[in-house]
Amino acid sequence: MSHDQNFKNLILDYPRQAIEFAAASEAARLDDSVRILPLREEQLKERLGDRFRELDVPLLLEWPDGRRQALLFVFEEETEPKRFSMHRLAHYCLDLAELYHTERVVPVVIFLHSGTFDETLTLGSDTRDYLQFSYLAWPLFRLQARAYFDSPNLVARLNLPNMRYAPEEKVEVYAQAVRGLRTLEPDRERQIKYLDFVDIYAKLNDNERQRYQQHYAEETETMSAFADRFIDQGVQQGEARTLLRQLDQKFGPAAVQAHRERIEQAELEQLDTWLGRILSADSPETIFH
């Protein structure tokens, strides 16, 4: 299980909502004109033999009027708090600040599993502190899931299974996460993509899934229909591409151009019929007649 990749996808797909959820005090200053751009994660190495210092998602925020400097949000997902290195995070933030010529950097760390972690780093001597560093901690395991049941923030709703709740609330937590996905994300492909995210972190057993299907039958049917439609669409597109490729190889580009629209709009059953004819066909007309 790559939690890094799961959260990287989530933040890159919903950067503004991730900032609003994890760094509310900073997000309050952002307006709709701000551009949010993902940056490359690995910074240039001092020596080629060095390992990359790699965090999850650095985001660059820019204002079009140029009145403010760029603002860097640095997201890191840390599954186990005991593995977290504040020294590494501080080093990385300093590298980014130097690279992009800005002192406006907001480090955010997502803690998935429970545990303790330091939130400040101070370097100095017995007489004076010379460097102080802190970051915004985002310990999902400390948040009360019920407090976010009606949140309009999709990132918050998708993370309900990662929050705190009583064992008997698990099915309801899952249902509220799925409901948030269904109502806040209109794109069908993303609905299917992030239904996987909810499933991964909810980890419903067979009895819990059965209870969900019984108590939330309408939503279960809706999401299942979306999934089936998405799968069928993928199969249809694959067969259409195969038929177009075979048509091109056997009869040339003119045949493809003449029949492309018809093939791309055809149902699966019709495509299967045409694919069965193409090997023995002596002309395009004998395939489609």
Q: Which residue has the higher pLDDT, 25 or 41?
A: 25
Q: Got the DSSP string for the chain?
A: --HHHHHHHHHHHSHHHHHHHH-HHHHTT--TT-EEEE--SSPPPSSTTSPP---SEEEEEE-TT-SS--EEEEEEEESSGGG--HHHHHHHHHHHHHHTT-S-EEEEEEE-S------EEEEE-SS-EEEEEE-EEEEGGGSBGGGGTT-S-HHHHHTGGGSB--GGGHHHHHHHHHHHHHHH---HHHHHHHHHHHHHHH---HHHHHHHHHHTHHHHHHHHHHHHHHHHHHHHHHHHHHHHHHHHHHH-HHHHHHHHHHHHT--HHHHHHHHHHHTT-SSHHHHH-
Q: Is the pLDDT of residue 230 over 80?
A: no
Four-CA torsion 277, 279, 282, 287, nearest 10 degrees: 20
Residue 229: band (very low, low, confident or very high) from pLDDT cuts 50, 70, 90: low
Q: Which of 9-23, 50-64, 161-175, 253-267 has the lowest mean pLDDT?
A: 50-64
Greatest mean pLDDT among 19-33, 56-70, 91-105, 171-185: 171-185
Q: Is the pLDDT of residue 66 over 50?
A: yes
Average pLDDT over residues 49-68: 66
Average pLDDT over residues 202-223: 82
pLDDT value of residue 120: 94
Q: Which of 66-80, 99-113, 202-216 has the lowest mean pLDDT?
A: 66-80
Burial of 148 (0-12, 13-18, 19+ CB in 10 A): buried
Average pLDDT, the chain: 84
Average pLDDT over residues 142-151: 96
> Residue 60 pairs with which residues in a beta bridge?
37, 72
Residue 53: band (very low, low, confident or very high) from pLDDT cuts 50, 70, 90: very low
Q: Which of 16-30, 53-67, 86-100, 200-214 has the lowest mean pLDDT?
A: 53-67
Residue 83: band (very low, low, confident or very high) from pLDDT cuts 50, 70, 90: confident
Q: Is the pLDDT of residue 100 over 90?
A: no
Average pLDDT over residues 147-173: 96
pLDDT value of residue 67: 59
* Percent of the chain residues topping a pLDDT of 90: 35
Contact predicate 109/135, CB 8 Å: yes
Average pLDDT over residues 216-229: 64
pLDDT value of residue 68: 61
Contact predicate 21/156, CB 8 Å: yes
Residue 51: band (very low, low, confident or very high) from pLDDT cuts 50, 70, 90: very low
pLDDT value of residue 82: 87
pLDDT value of residue 34: 86
pLDDT value of residue 160: 97
Q: Which residue has the higher pLDDT, 218 or 20?
A: 20
Residue 44: band (very low, low, confident or very high) from pLDDT cuts 50, 70, 90: very low
Q: Is the pLDDT of residue 133 over 90?
A: yes
